Amino acid sequence: MKRILVVGEDALCCALGERLVAAGLPGWSLARTSIDTQGVTKLKPALPRYIEQAKYVQPVLCIADTDGQCAVALRSSWLQGVDPDRFVLRLAQTEAESWLLADREGFAQALAVPLNKLPHHPDAEPDPKRLILNLMRRSKVRMFRDEVIAATDPGKPGTGYNLHLGTFVRSHWSAWRAARYSSSLARALQGVQALDVHQG
C-alpha cells in the first residue's frame, strides 16, 4: 500500500490533510500520525526536511494558511525554487477555516447552524475564523455555543474550538462537496490526486 506523510501548521490543517488524502488518494494510508508543527513559524524552517523526506522516504502533503497573503508568492518564497513531484504544499485561502465553511451542507448539519448563513465564496472571506465564531453563536446545540466560543471573549475561540471543528472535519466534512465552493481547495484536491499519477 502506498503511504503519505501529512504535515500541518496546526491540528485543523492536519485533519484537513488527512481528509484530502482519503478523498483524493483512495487506497493510500498515512505513514504515521500527522505532524502538527503548532504554527507557521515552526513549519517554514522545517520545510527542507520534509522535502528531503518526500524525495527519499514517502510523499509529503503539507497544509498551511495564506493568512491573507498571495498564495503564489508565499509558495515561491517558502520553496525557494524547489518543487519536487512528491512534495505537495497547499495553502488555504485565507485560513483553513475557509475550507471548513466550503462544505456548506456538512457544516450546517453537523454544527447545527443555518445553511443560508454559510458563504458561497469562502475563499473571499477576510476572516473565516471570526465568521465561524459568529455562526456558532447561532448553533442550536448549546455545547457548541459554550465550548467553541471563549467564555471571557466572544471574539476568540474557546477551549473546545479545535476539538469540535476537528471532529467535524474527521466525521462529516466532505472534500468533494467543499471543493465546489472553494477554488483553493479544488486545486489542493487536484494536487493530491496528481501524486497517484507520479507514483504510477
Q: What is the pLDDT of residue 107?
A: 98
Residue ranges of the chain with per-residue pLDDT less than 70? 198-200
The per-residue pLDDT for 172 is 97
DSSP-based three-state secondary structure for 181? coil
pLDDT (0 to 100) of residue 141: 97
Residue ranges of domains in the chain: 3-95+179-198, 98-175
- Give 60's strand partners: 5, 87
**Residue 196: per-residue pLDDT:** 84
**79: helix, strand or coil:** helix
CATH 3.40.50 fits 3-95+179-198, yes or no: yes
What pLDDT does residue 82 have? 74
